[in-house]
């Protein structure tokens, strides 16, 4: 028995292999052309979108001309964002597993020129074109200072870094550039508003862009392998289109993020965004501004969960600012809505005991909280027991003094 048939017996059977097809001409399907690099040829598709083209509610020209000062603090490292030297980058890969056996077979690169938004898509038509692909990507990276991606921090950039490292040609990749990943920032703004912060979901719900007949991400690796095995260019059409739209959406999303971050408290129209902006302000230690955003969010909010979140954050900020009476008022509003919020009950009890010196009120709240803590088998119960005992001691002492 020969080796291969023996192996087939030992190993589970697969479908019988299809004979490799001769490579067909890709140009009619993808509209690009072969380019020759010092490392051999690969395939390049270049599209130039005029600046009056609209995507996601704005003209690309508006996107280009806007200032992105609000986004500077989210870069890694923190850095000014200048669209003239910014590269939008998205890869299509042979898998999600990572490791040295996962290849980026298509890299989409977008950038603005004074005349247009240019999208270059570099494709390796087979594995032997990888060096050429990497070379072209490297060339584009060299002339830019900032890279914008969606989920690039954990996926695209480490993967490219691995590819560059394997090439062992001294390519720097994106190392040394400012990187802005729009996924974590989008999550911070819309996590509570949207069920998912995938690019699809953001396009549909935030940018108002609808794709038709888009290839789902999970199907891309196998589609590429099918292309390798059959050489049929039309198989790549959907992938190239998908990658192209990702790049254009990146630019639109960047603009949308800047617009939201620019909102003043009084101009917010979405309670979730106002709440998110409050968090960002608090992170920058600007608590009065955070309170203004929370105020705006509270006025816009209708959902109960959101209301409670707003009140809790407001109370916490007021406490830190030393505005204890105002904080206490918020804790009371929280407890009126959610009796079993033990955290707020504890804060309020502390306030009455130590700030307002109203031991009777403190006792009342502690008693009620203790009962609820018992019912919920909360570990806080013992804290409340201690507090209650101390309050009663103090009250007895005060009674004795009188």
Taking the C-alpha atoms of residue 271 and residue 102, their distance in angstroms, rounded to an integer, is 42
Return the range that interacts with other proteins (CB under 8 A); candidates 9-17, 66-74, 141-149, 352-360: 9-17
Taking the C-alpha atoms of residue 206 and residue 189, their distance in angstroms, rounded to an integer, is 11
Taking the C-alpha atoms of residue 250 and residue 255, their distance in angstroms, rounded to an integer, is 9
Q: Of 219 and 325, which has the nearer Cβ to other proteins?
A: 219
Question: For the chain, what is the radius of gyration of the CA atoms?
Answer: 29
Provide the mask over 38-77, with x wherever binding to other proteins is found by CB under 8 A and - wherever it is not: ----------------------------------------
Tokens 């105020």 locate to 295
Options 10, 36, 195, 336; binder of other proteins; rule CB under 8 A: 10
Provide the mask over 103-132, with x wherever binding to other proteins is found by CB under 8 A and - wherever it is not: x----------------------xxx----
Three-state DSSP class for 74?
helix
Q: Does 332 bind other proteins (CB under 8 A)?
A: no
Q: Are 74 and 185 in contact (CB under 8 A)?
A: yes
Q: Of 9 and 302, which has the nearer Cβ to other proteins?
A: 9
What does residue 126 show for φ and ψ, rounded to 5 degrees? -160, 175
C-beta of 161: minimal distance to other proteins in Å?
7
Three-state DSSP class for 50?
strand
Q: Does 374 bind other proteins (CB under 8 A)?
A: no
Q: Does 231 bind other proteins (CB under 8 A)?
A: no
Q: What is the DSSP string of 265-309?
A: GGG---HHHHHHHHHHHHHTT-HHHHHHHHHHHHHH--SHHHHHH
Q: Does 303 bind other proteins (CB under 8 A)?
A: no
Helix, strand, coil percentages (3-state) for the chain, rounded to 5, are 60, 15, 30
Q: Does 175 bind other proteins (CB under 8 A)?
A: no
C-beta of 363: minimal distance to other proteins in Å?
37
Q: Does 3 bind other proteins (CB under 8 A)?
A: yes
Q: Does 99 bind other proteins (CB under 8 A)?
A: yes
Structure tokens at 209: 């862009």
Q: Of 201 and 232, which has the nearer Cβ to other proteins?
A: 232
Options 29, 39, 192, 225; binder of other proteins; rule CB under 8 A: 225
C-beta of 100: minimal distance to other proteins in Å?
5
Q: Of 137 and 290, which has the nearer Cβ to other proteins?
A: 137
Structure tokens at 393: 């001691």
Options 52, 67, 80, 165; binder of other proteins; rule CB under 8 A: 165
| 272 Cβ contact list (under 8 Å, min separation 6) | 189, 190, 192, 193, 297, 306
Interface residue list for other proteins (CB under 8 A): 1, 3-4, 6-7, 9-11, 14, 17, 94-103, 126-128, 161-162, 165-166, 221-222, 225, 228-229
């Amino acid at each position: 028995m020969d080796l291969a048939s023996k192996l087939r017996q030992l190993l589970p059977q697969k479908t019988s292999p299809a004979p490799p097809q001769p490579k067909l001409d890709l140009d009619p399907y993808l509209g690009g052309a072969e380019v020759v690099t010092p490392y051999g040829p690969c395939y390049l598709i270049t599209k130039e979108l005029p600046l009056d083209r609209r995507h996601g509610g704005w003209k690309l020209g508006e996107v280009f001309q806007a200032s992105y000062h609000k986004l500077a603090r989210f870069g890694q490292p923190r850095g000014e964002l200048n669209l003239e030297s910014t590269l939008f980058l998205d890869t299509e890969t042979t898998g999600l597993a990572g490791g040295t056996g996962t290849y980026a077979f298509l890299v989409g690169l977008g950038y603005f020129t004074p005349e247009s938004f240019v999208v270059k898509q570099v494709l390796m038509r087979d594995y032997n074109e990888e060096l050429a692909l990497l070379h072209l990507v490297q060339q584009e990276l060299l002339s830019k200072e900032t890279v914008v991606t969606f989920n690039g921090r954990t996926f695209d950039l480490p993967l490219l870094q691995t590819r560059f490292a394997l090439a062992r040609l001294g390519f720097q990749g994106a190392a040394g550039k400012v990187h802005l990943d729009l996924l974590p920032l989008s999550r911070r703004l819309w996590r509570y508003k949207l069920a998912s912060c995938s690019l699809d979901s953001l396009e549909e719900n935030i940018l108002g862009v609808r794709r038709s007949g888009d290839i789902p991400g999970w199907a891309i690796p196998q589609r590429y392998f099918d292309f390798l095995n059959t050489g049929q260019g039309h198989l790549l059409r959907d992938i190239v289109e998908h990658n192209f739209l990702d790049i254009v959406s990146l630019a639109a999303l960047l603009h949308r993020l800047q617009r939201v971050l620019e909102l003043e408290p009084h101009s917010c129209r979405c309670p979730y965004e106002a709440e998110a902006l409050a968090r960002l302000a608090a992170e920058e230690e600007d608590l009065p501004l955070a309170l203004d955003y929370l105020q705006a969010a509270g006025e816009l909010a209708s959902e109960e969960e959101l209301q409670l979140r707003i009140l809790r954050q407001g109370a916490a900020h007021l406490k830190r600012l030393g505005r204890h009476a105002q904080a206490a008022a918020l804790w009371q509003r929280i407890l009126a809505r959610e009796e079993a919020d033990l955290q707020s009950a504890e804060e309020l009890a502390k306030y009455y005991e130590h700030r307002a010196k109203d031991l009777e009120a403190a006792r009342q709240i502690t008693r009620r909280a203790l009962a609820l803590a018992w019912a919920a088998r909360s570990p806080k119960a013992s804290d409340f027991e201690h507090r209650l005992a101390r309050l009663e001691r103090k009250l007895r002492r005060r009674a004795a003094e009188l």
